[in-house]
């Protein structure tokens, strides 16, 4: 039993101490290096608590750094050097991220080629969609259908360009990877890209990475009962790479099946083999992550990256953040297709961002082409659908020390939501639009 009741966070806030957080952090580090023994993580966490009990009391409250130092020592003492290394790397990356937030020295946009950013900004200015004020004026003037048309044309041109670039390399390619962070529009883009390439006479076969998730019981879970599916380690990367390699060599493999209702993976379910002149088409959050396809030469891969790269400023002349739009998209998609309510999505989003920063953004420069999936007409639609919810969350989370991340995101989004003119008539949005992937009403099956 712990004598420690509270800890001091880096911000100075004092919060309730929970052993489960230590156990979960250790298990996370173990998962990162291939381990999945929860009982061992719990045992090590108990040892950390014993050490804390000897060093601290109810009168002396430890800082988070003190606890992390003890975790490192306990891991090394028990011979878990690889886990300790992963834990230290995770800890150091968090420190670096906090420094970058203060200095504003880094952002995802810095890894996007500037000519791409400039092209999108130029388009936004030309179409008078570069500020919330300009967007509002067009909405008030009854131009919503025109904005939809302009946005959809720009996106379609990008998909067509990607198809052309792929066709130019088709003789060497073994696979096309459609990747990008959560809710960037990968599924719809994959469908549209395949349609383009089929018209050009090319044949593709889908490889479903989601069937390679580990069983739910083997995933890290936090004290709120929330599972982290966002890291590449949630997938059986070794088996994915092995199966892809075998397929590219002309061999048959037996694909597993993952039952999302029960959180169970069943091995050796579906035979799969590439026919002559067929190429793998892979829609995956972690398509750029090297371990997933490490056995395949880069010359045999075409890596397509998606991101909703809005170039729009608020009334304070600050650009809106891409991640905020993806959060809203995911809220809507989760509630429509996954029986997750928007509050659950908001509280889970810190896992999404953490994995993106560590496992997606660092490899962005390896992409062969980048598609902008942003649709400026999304903003008034989202205001109509979720504007009131963000007001509620901003108020609900403001004094909750354990939901700091949710409060920060909700209040930031609420700030710009207050500036937007809402629009609820979605009839002008095409049924095959990438936005239908999130708001529903699509002709495509997801």
Among residues 103, 122, 151, the one where a domain terminates is 103
Are residue 156 and residue 305 in the same domain, yes or no? yes
Show which of 103, 128, 150 is a domain's final residue.
Answer: 103
Q: Are residues 145 and 186 both part of a single domain?
A: yes
Q: Distance between alpha carbon 84 and the CA centroid of its chain, in Å?
A: 26
Is 144 inside any structural domain?
yes
Do 170 and 22 lie in one domain? The reply is: no
The answer as to whether 225 is a domain residue is no
The dihedral built from the CA positions of residue 53, 36, 331 and 186, taken in this order, carries a sign that is positive
Within-domain flag for 239:
no
Same domain, yes or no: 153 and 47:
no
Minimal CA–CA distance to 52: which of 40, 38, 35, 69?
69
Q: What is the DSSP letter of 7?
A: E
Q: What is the pLDDT, as a whole number, of residue 19?
A: 82
- Would 139 be classed as within a structural domain? yes
The answer on 182 and 87 residing in a single domain is no
Q: What is the pTM of this model?
A: 0.81
In a domain, 62, yes or no: yes
Residue 226, domain member (yes or no) = no
Q: Do both 36 and 90 map to the same domain?
A: yes
Contacts of 173 (CB under 8 A, 6+ apart): 166, 279, 300, 301, 302
In this structure, are 131 and 154 located in the same domain? yes
State which of 45, 71, 103 marks the end of a domain. Answer: 103
Please indicate, yes or no, whether residues 284 and 408 belong to a single structural domain of this protein.
yes
Q: Name the stretches of the chain with pLDDT < 50.
A: 102-108
Q: Are residues 201 and 327 in the same domain?
A: yes
**Per-residue pLDDT at 94:** 62
Q: Residue 441: what are its φ and ψ, rounded to 5°?
A: 85, 20
How far is it, in rounded angstroms, from Cα 208 to Cα 149?
32
Give yes or no: residues 432 and 311 share one domain. yes
165 contacts 368 by C-beta, under 8 angstroms: yes
Q: Tell me, yes or no, whether 401 and 319 share the same domain.
A: yes
Provide the domain count of the chain: 2
* The predicted structure's pLDDT at residue 107: 45
Per the domain annotation, does 331 fall within a domain?
A: yes
User: Could you tell me if residue 75 is left (phi over 0), alpha (psi between -120 and 50 degrees) or otherwise beta?
Assistant: alpha
Range of the domain at 60: 6-103
Q: In residues, how long is the chain?
A: 446
Does residue 186 sit in the same domain as residue 285?
A: yes
- Asked if 11 contacts 34 with a C-beta cutoff of 8 angstroms, the reply is no
CB atoms within 10 A of CB 344: 16
Q: What is the DSSP letter of 87?
A: H
Residue 234 lies in a domain: no
Token pair belonging to 266: 């069943």
pLDDT of the residue at 6: 77
């Amino acid at each position: 039993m712990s004598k420690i009741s509270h800890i001091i966070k880096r911000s100075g806030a004092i919060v309730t101490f929970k052993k489960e957080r230590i156990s979960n952090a250790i298990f996370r580090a173990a998962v990162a290096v291939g381990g999945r023994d929860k009982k061992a993580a719990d045992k090590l966490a108990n040892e950390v608590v014993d050490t804390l009990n000897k060093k601290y009391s109810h009168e002396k409250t430890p800082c988070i750094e003190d606890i992390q130092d003890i975790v490192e020592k306990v891991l090394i003492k028990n011979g878990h050097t690889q886990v300790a290394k992963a834990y230290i790397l995770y800890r150091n990356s968090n420190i670096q991220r906090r420094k970058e937030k203060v200095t504003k020295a880094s952002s995802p946009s810095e890894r996007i080629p500037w000519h791409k950013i400039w092209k999108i900004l130029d388009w936004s200015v030309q179409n008078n969609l570069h500020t919330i004020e300009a967007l509002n004026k067009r909405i008030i003037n009854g131009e919503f259908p025109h904005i939809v048309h302009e946005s959809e044309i720009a996106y379609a041109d990008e998909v067509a360009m990607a198809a052309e670039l792929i066709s130019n390399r088709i003789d060497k390619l073994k696979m096309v990877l459609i990747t990008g962070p959560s809710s960037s529009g990968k599924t719809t883009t994959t469908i549209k890209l395949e349609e383009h390439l089929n018209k050009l006479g090319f044949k593709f076969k889908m490889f479903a990475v989601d069937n390679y998730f580990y069983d739910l019981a083997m995933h890290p879970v936090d004290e709120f009962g929330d599972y982290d599916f966002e890291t590449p380690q949630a997938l059986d990367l070794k088996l994915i790479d092995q199966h892809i390699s075998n397929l590219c060599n002309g061999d048959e493999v037996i694909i597993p099946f993952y039952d999302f209702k029960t959180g169970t993976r069943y091995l050796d379910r579906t035979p799969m083999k590439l026919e002559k002149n067929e190429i793998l088409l892979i829609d995956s959050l972690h398509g750029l992550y090297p371990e997933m396809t490490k056995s395949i030469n880069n010359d045999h891969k075409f890596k397509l990256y998606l991101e909703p790269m809005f170039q729009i400023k608020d009334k304070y002349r600050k650009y809106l953040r891409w991640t905020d739009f993806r959060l809203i998209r995911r809220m809507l998609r989760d509630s429509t297709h996954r029986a997750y309510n928007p509050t659950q999505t908001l509280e889970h989003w810190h896992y999404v961002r953490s994995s993106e920063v560590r496992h997606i953004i660092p490899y962005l420069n390896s992409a062969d082409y980048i598609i902008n999936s942003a649709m400026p007409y999304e903003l008034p639609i989202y205001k109509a659908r979720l504007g009131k919810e963000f007001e509620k969350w901003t108020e609900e989370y403001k004094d909750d020390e354990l939901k700091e991340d949710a409060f920060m995101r909700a209040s930031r989004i609420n700030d710009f939501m207050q500036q937007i003119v809402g629009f609820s008539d979605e009839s002008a949005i095409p049924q095959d639009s990438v936005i239908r992937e999130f708001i529903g009403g699509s002709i495509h099956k997801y």
